[in-house]
Amino acid sequence: MLKINSQLSALTATLMGFLLVAAGSSLAQQLETLNVSYASVTGSRIPLWIAKDAGLFEKYGLHVNLVVIAAGNAAIGALSGGDVDVLGAPGTTTMVSAARGLPVAIIGTFGPSAWKLAAHPSITSVQELRGKTVGISRPGTTIEFATRRTLLKLGFTPGKDINILPTGLAESNKRVLVMLQGKIDATLVSPDNLFEAETKGLKLSILTDLNEMGIYTSASDLSAKRDFLKSQRQRARAFMMGFCEAIWLGKANKNVALASFRKHLRESDPRRLEALYKNYIVDALPTKPYPMEEVIQTEIENLTPSVPELRGKKPSDFIDKTILSDLEREGFFTALGNRYGK
């Protein structure tokens, strides 16, 4: 009898093994493809990388292709044309496009940024910027808008007192190198790229901190077409579930986050990895990545003079937080808190 029971147990275990393999194969066949782009290879993209590396998108039924498309017209064109389903890029691009009639909306955020205006070491004061050239990434990006707002608050008229030069470089560490070559005199730099410069012995002059000046921006945002959010609701929802869980996993398991930083940034310096973790996960990532309405309101106020279509608009005109609201109401974030710790 014991022998029979033992054989039955072994048979049951074998059958369960087959069923699990079959289920895994079936799941793989059922995964739906989703194309997601992001504007630059910077530490702020960490939720996407963790979700991809840890299989969280697959967990929610998606096969996600991550591609890099520079911010601005190319990125919004890829979204509107259907080449990508979700766009990871500055929310200002989405706002301007929506104000001009494109049916797109901001659905989430990568968290706040912490830009500093850094200059060539030969420039030691803000006033020495007069007549100089400040480098941005590309026209129509958060970097350009934040740079112009900063210069205005410092008492300059961009384009008159100071030249604005598009470098085509989204990563601030690359703009730093261009600056040290003497091609530009100042640019906005992220905290981790400042740390990187310091560890390499590169001398920079920090002129101001944008947050201390009251100039708040998002590191980047998530946007999608409004018809996609309606007709492909489950795919959009699955993406946001994977994105959100990646945030909680990264905060709870430092090693997972560091592994993704190493892989996607090709970084091995322990000190820089620690700085990346602190700047982009501990300090920046919100556990509930709702669009930052205060930042959007500020962007509206500052952009309206140059983008008249924004006049009279409100943050609610540019965001769709229904997926995140639904997830919160259904207890998704509470479940994540129970799983990963609050």
| Per-residue three-class SS string for 119-180 | ECCCCCCHHHHCCCEEEECCCCCHHHHHHHHHHHHCCCCECCCEEEEECCCCCHHHHHHHHH
Tally of residues, the chain: 342
Residue 173, burial from CB neighbour count under 10 angstroms (0-12, 13-18, 19+): middle
Output the CA–CA distances (angstroms, integers) from residue 83 to 55, 80, 256, 303, in the order listed. Answer: 23, 8, 30, 28
- CB atoms inside a 10 Å sphere around CB 265: 18
Output the CA–CA distances (angstroms, integers) from residue 198 to 192, 195, 271, 281, 320, in the order listed. Answer: 10, 5, 11, 21, 40
pLDDT tens by residue, the chain, 342 residues: 434 344 434 433 333 334 333 334 444 459 999 999 998 888 999 999 999 999 999 999 999 999 999 877 889 999 999 999 999 988 888 999 999 999 999 999 999 888 999 999 999 999 999 999 999 998 877 788 889 989 999 999 999 999 999 999 988 999 999 999 999 999 999 888 898 898 889 999 999 999 889 888 887 899 999 999 999 999 999 999 999 999 999 999 999 999 999 999 999 989 889 989 998 999 889 999 999 999 999 889 878 888 899 999 999 999 999 999 999 999 999 999 999 986
CB 179 within 8 Å of CB 185: yes
Q: At which residue do the structure tokens 């509206």 appear?
A: 300
Closest among 135, 148, 108 to 299, alpha carbons compared: 148
Model confidence, pTM: 0.79
